[in-house]
Structure 1
Amino acid sequence: MSTPQVSRRQFLGGSAALLAMMGVGGLAGCSGGNGGSGSGVATGGIELTDTFTMISVAGNDSFDPIVGTGADKVTMHSLYDNLFMFDGEGNVEPMLVDTYEQEGNVVTATLREANFSDGNPVTADDVVYSWDMLRADPSQGPYMSNYITDVEKVDDKTVKITVVRDDTSWLNILAETIYIIPNGSYDPEANDYASTPMIGSGAYVFESVDEARTVTLKANEDYWGGAPTFKTVVVQAPVDSSTSLVALQNGEVNCVSMMAQTAVETAREDANLNVVEFEAWGQQMLGVLVGDQAFRSAIFHAINTQNIVDVVTGGAATPATQFFAKKLLGEDYDGVVTFEAYDPDLAKEELAKSETDLSQTYTITASDEAGAQCAQCIQQDLSAIGINVEVESVDTNTWSSKLMDQTLQMFINALGTDMLAVDSFIQLLFGDTSVYYYPISDEMKAKVAEMNAIPSVVERHDLVVELLNDMQVECPIVPLYDTVNYDVYTAGIEGYLPSSAGTYVYYLGKLTK
């Protein structure tokens, strides 16, 4: 994810969302079950107060609404609104937009009456400025240009958006990525966005961030969508799932985002907790950013995905036989290109053709608990054919930095971009604007460019199928299994959107008790 969640989902996949393995701490003193006024008792018996405390999957290292690296989406979507938003099923509906219509490649959108937290109205100038800043950012702009080419002011409450594709994938971009900020306000040289966010129009306003990067937000009582029920929101850095589960059971926190499957069954047995299960657009996969084609092919055929599924999910998932998650493939591509990859003998034959340095120890980088377990299984599989790897577990933001610095060699992540099509995901991974650097052939890169130049999604179909088949030959990724995302929250809380577990976009101002 979400990549994302590069905490932008277009880079990280969220559903290429990334979970982080970080140290335990920061739970005490930020309890959703202690203190506050207006307390109530949830169905299961845990007291609910005016404070909602959440353990996120990423640290709040930055509040910069333009440069996504280091920004946690729980906090960002609380502070800044988008033009559109997700509903409970993951569909897109208007947010700051009131009404819109599309004619060909031109979308005309009228803004609702909404104010920033300082009381100034949200206008077309703010929308155009937010787009201009994002388009100018070297990490975000090139990807945005695959979907949107321009945003222009028509009048104070109307904007004209020029889109590239003849489908509605632009809706996802406007729900996911473009945070609306006041016209002329963005100045990263004069402001430290690591310590203080910009003004937004969201349901919450910033209060503080401590040394552990625990963020405290206060309700925006004049929010256009209505004053939030929870008057204080506390967003904590990620911890391991067992610690998170204990914190939930003790009432110290009210929600854990994307809890590891190992803790979910225990949570299901607790009457004080609700478990949300959402079929994600993501697929757990190994990305291989080093080596020649024979080396990558050897890895592709050496990995026992059934063993990984048994170890990591307890057999709950199914080994992948397609390159992207079934939910992302949709009706047009599901079942069109399939494979049975695991073949240790073939893996050894492929490795014998490789000119990659086999005396080197390569690193598999994981950024969540499930990923680390997958990596350990893969380490054994690759050792069996003569490839030495070590497993590295890092937090989300370190993973992001390594990706941007091009220092990742192999990585485990659940990649997939919610609401986007197969062709756009191929462009995201392998196109010339991609932040990934898979060592694919020039011929495959040329096909991706050719695909992207075809304006009709329907007319791209055959070339997309050809590219999916090319991926079996060049093996830049090894699909492991489709992911199901789980959120766990305190019973008695209402308004929780199931899609948040898959999109990693939360609207905390909509929660009630």
Structure 2
Amino acid sequence: MTANRTDLTLLRRGAAVLLTAALVTGCSSAVADQRNGGFSSGGGEQILHIGSTNDIVPGTVFTNSSDTTNTLIGSVYDSLVDYPLDSLDAQPSLATSWDVAKDGTSITLDLRDDVSFHSGREFTSKDVEFSIRTWADPVWTVQLQRTAAAVTDFDTSDPHRITLGFDHPLSNILDLLDMVPIIDSESFDQLKTGEAYVGTGPFVFESWTPNAKVELSANEDYWGGAPGVDGIEVSVISDPQAQVSALRSGQVDLVTGASNRDLATLAEDDKYTVSQSDYGQQVYVGADLANPALKDVRLRQAVAYSLDRERILDEVYQGAGVTTSIPWAETSPAYDEELAHHYDLDAAKAKSLLAEVGDVGTLPLSYPAGNANYEATAQIVQANLEATGIRTELKPVEFTQFIKQLIAGEFGGLWILQHSYAQYTPSTLAVSAYPFNADKNASHFVDDDYKAHADGAWTRASGVDEGAVKLYGELNKDLIDNAFLLEIAILKGQVATSDKVGGEFTWSKRGELQLDDVTLGG
């Protein structure tokens, strides 16, 4: 049966975008058979097949660094609160209510008393403590490690209530509670090796075959209601065009890594639906100041003025987004309309600045290999820079290695990637994200004013009051004047599905697919 689909906006589990389809009935559930007799897509089971680009890397499983990892985390785990996509108004999840102390140095949360891990063990306040302490461990290189480490006191005397204490106010504490997945301490050693991922979420981890697939089964006892499908199988298909071919042939029902050009073509075919999130990620050019030439801010500003953002957005991303010179969307308390256009294309300014700098040789320009969008963006950026007199050498890097270089700050020149976290309390970006962290970032950019403004915004009781907004203005000035990260566009998240996929399909603010209400046609 072919479903009739309408794009709507709905607040659900921290998401604001969904695809509504005619519900399909008559397919039997076989979750029990899966658990007793192995995972299979045969026998009438409703298995959602997904094509993803990058595999799980157990050592970076909490970094939101791949689409397969995002699907795993979003399906297997829950967080304490959920943000909607378009605001910072946190909604209940595993925490039913919370109270922040007036001085901002503690928060008390009431927890659900009807939640169990997939192992059957009851979820309690001690699991919250374990999860936050895990995120605070630098070994996991999570981007909110500083905020997790700032939680210094845990009162777990009541199994269904917890008070978190801080040495100083944390304006982004609810950001942390939205992002931290509640993990199981008893199976933690297996999580480290990729053998087991035990959470409280709508799907149960069954198996991971490295570089091949991840299998999940429905958690029929999920506190939020049983999922609409019996399981999920994520196949790692690194070639974006191969993902599209798998979708067209019926091998998969949903693809996460198709290029925007292929997505535009699929959208013209009634057999497929391309769904957009109102908020995705920002694509940007980074500058590594470890390269002596890039230490000169005039060169970095010349690069910024050289970028033809409109062309990149239109040709590569098919207009699915908005160009910008700052990280924030219009819904952010840090948004500034004038600064969003500060580095609009101005070849004359770029050439003038470059004339002051002189010859800088050839700069490496790195990007993740095997991604059609990044490759096309890199080619346009190279042409843009060449037009104003800046020579570059394109360097495609395998994705896992690319993320390692990002975390370690080892690009040695310019690089192209997407970042997130600007959708949260603005201080989160400046004290957390690998490219932006004022303490240590991928650009090796160090500045006392930037650090003072970032920490000032972070150590406030409120992240949205007048004082915070004033500090965000200073942060914007820091980002514009120093030009160590050059925003191109805020993109809309997109996936393509076949006409078998129905029900409600959503994203979290973290960019994770929320698949528990998806159904499949019989």
Among 356, 359, 362, the residue aligned to 2:361: 359
Q: Distance in 2 between matches of 1:419 and 1:306?
A: 22
Aligned to 1:282: 281
Contact 1:276 1:498 in 2 (8 A): no
Residues 220-229 or 66-75, more deviating: 66-75
SS of 1:512 mapped into structure 2: strand
Aligned to 2:137: 136
Deviations 1:136-156 (A, max 9, x none): 235236332487554431401
Aligned to 1:246: 245
Contact 2:78 2:181 in 1 (8 A): yes
Amino acid at match of 2:513: Y
Among 179, 182, 196, the residue aligned to 2:181: 179
Aligned to 1:206: 205
Aligned to 2:230: 231
Deviations 1:195-251 (A, max 9, x none): 412432232333222242311122233333333332231112243443322322322
Q: CA offset at residue 483 of structure 1?
A: 1.0
Label 1:478 to 1:65 Cα distance change in 2 as closer, same or farther (>3 A). Answer: closer
Q: Distance in 1 between matches of 2:284 and 2:86?
A: 24
Q: CA offset at residue 315 of structure 1?
A: 5.2
Q: Distance in 1 between matches of 2:510 and 2:283?
A: 15
Q: Distance in 2 between matches of 1:35 and 1:282?
A: 33
Gaps spanning 5+ residues in structure 1: where?
1-33, 39-48
Among 57, 73, 81, the residue aligned to 1:84: 81
Amino acid at match of 1:82: S
What are the equivalent positions in structure 2 for 1:474-513 lying under 5 Å apart?
Answer: 474-500=482-508, 503-513=510-520
Q: CA offset at residue 353 of structure 1?
A: 3.4
Label 1:422 to 1:85 Cα distance change in 2 as closer, same or farther (>3 A). Answer: closer
Q: Distance in 1 between matches of 2:387 and 2:268?
A: 40
Q: CA offset at residue 88 of structure 1?
A: 7.7
Label 1:289 to 1:119 Cα distance change in 2 as closer, same or farther (>3 A). Answer: same
Amino acid at match of 1:445: K
Aligned to 1:109: 109
Label 1:463 to 1:146 Cα distance change in 2 as closer, same or farther (>3 A). Answer: farther
TM (norm. structure 1) is: 0.79
Contact 2:281 2:493 in 1 (8 A): no
What are the equivalent positions in structure 2 for 1:228-377 lying under 5 Å apart?
Answer: 228-257=227-256, 259-280=258-279, 282-290=281-289, 291-292=294-295, 293-314=297-318, 317-320=321-324, 322-327=325-330, 329-330=332-333, 333-337=335-339, 338-354=341-357, 358-366=360-368, 368-377=371-380
Amino acid at match of 1:509: D
Label 1:417 to 1:431 Cα distance change in 2 as closer, same or farther (>3 A). Answer: closer
Label 1:299 to 1:66 Cα distance change in 2 as closer, same or farther (>3 A). Answer: closer
Q: Distance in 2 between matches of 1:344 and 1:495?
A: 48
Matched, 1:159 2:162: yes
Aligned to 2:470: 462
Contact 1:172 1:419 in 2 (8 A): no
Amino acid at match of 2:75: S
Q: Distance in 2 between matches of 1:234 and 1:316?
A: 28
What are the equivalent positions in structure 2 for 1:87-102 lying under 5 Å apart?
Answer: 92-102=90-100
Q: CA offset at residue 132 of structure 1?
A: 1.6
Aligned to 1:6: none
Aligned-pair Cα RMSD in Å: 3.2
Aligned to 2:443: 437
Residues 139-148 or 357-366, more deviating: 139-148
Q: CA offset at residue 122 of structure 1?
A: 0.9
Contact 1:114 1:201 in 2 (8 A): yes
Amino acid at match of 1:212: N
Number of aligned residues: 461
Label 1:76 to 1:326 Cα distance change in 2 as closer, same or farther (>3 A). Answer: closer
Label 1:276 to 1:449 Cα distance change in 2 as closer, same or farther (>3 A). Answer: same
Amino acid at match of 1:55: G
User: Percent identical across equivalent pairs?
Assistant: 21
Matched, 1:51 2:50: no
